[in-house]
């Protein structure tokens, strides 16, 4: 599920990211926000449903970087299982879309709720529902809510505005300030502490694009 800012297939100058989908997630929003903050206009964002798939794409050179929220349930696995081949090269803090507990208008006393667990389990008192169902992303919770698979969902507040005939707002949670991690294949840490704005990410981008351009040049010469 590519979300691209380029009208053609990825060129030597295109920065390729993988992050959590489907379309409309905070991960996609923050990835776009991050790229804008770095002054990168030529990019491609590939949306995945599992960070295991994203890391595979990174290791196979299908993408250059992966964006992941630090509180996502797969983050310990992403860092722990791949620490010799995948490295955190940048991190930053950002708010995102406002969260809320939404319920179906045709359900007076909701008994089930969809939640991104364990990341969002403390945002509200889940003991109010008889059944708590775990999902891998908020758009998937919203889809389940709209078709009646669950009565309530801890999702983006904006969904109620998009579907006012179906959904009501039961509780406004707000937007937490989360830490976000950018992963690459080359280690950025070199003895001294690295902070946001130190340029580690852009340094890596320059190296990656230079290497890709050189590889394509060598391939063209070989074909000729």
35 near 94, Cβ under 8 Å?
Answer: no
Strand partners, 76: none
51 near 72, Cβ under 8 Å?
Answer: yes
Residue 196 is predicted with a pLDDT of 66
Residue 8 is predicted with a pLDDT of 40
Question: Under DSSP, is residue 83 helix (H, G, I), strand (E, B) or coil?
Answer: coil
DSSP string, 120-162: TTTSS-GGGSSEEEE-SSHHHHHHHHHTTS-SEEEEETHHHHH
> pLDDT for 1-45, tens place per residue?
555 544 344 566 899 999 999 999 999 999 999 999 999 999 999
- Enumerate domains of the chain plus CATH numbers: 2-95+177-223 (3.40.190.10), 99-174 (3.40.190.10)
């Amino acid at each position: 599920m590519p979300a691209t800012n380029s009208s053609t297939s990825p060129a030597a100058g295109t920065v390729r990211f993988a992050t959590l989908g489907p379309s409309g997630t905070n991960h996609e929003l923050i990835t776009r926000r991050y790229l804008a903050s770095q002054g990168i206009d030529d990019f491609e964002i590939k949306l995945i449903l599992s960070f295991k798939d994203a890391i595979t794409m990174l290791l196979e050179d299908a993408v250059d970087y992966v964006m992941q929220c630090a509180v996502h349930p797969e983050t310990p696995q992403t860092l722990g299982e791949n620490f010799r081949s995948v490295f955190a090269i940048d991190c930053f803090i950002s708010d995102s879309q406002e969260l809320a507990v939404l319920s179906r208008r045709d359900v007076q006393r909701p008994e089930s709720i969809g939640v991104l667990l364990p990341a969002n389990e403390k945002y509200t008192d889940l003991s109010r529902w008889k059944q708590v169902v775990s999902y891998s992303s908020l758009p998937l919770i919203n889809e389940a809510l709209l078709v009646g698979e669950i009565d309530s969902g801890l999702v983006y507040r904006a969904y109620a505005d998009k579907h006012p005939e179906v959904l009501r707002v039961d509780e406004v949670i707000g937007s937490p300030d989360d830490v976000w991690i950018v992963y690459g294949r080359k280690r950025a840490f070199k003895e001294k502490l690295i902070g946001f704005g130190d340029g580690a990410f852009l340094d890596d981008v320059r190296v990656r694009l230079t290497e890709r351009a050189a590889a394509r040049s060598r391939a063209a010469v070989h074909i000729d």
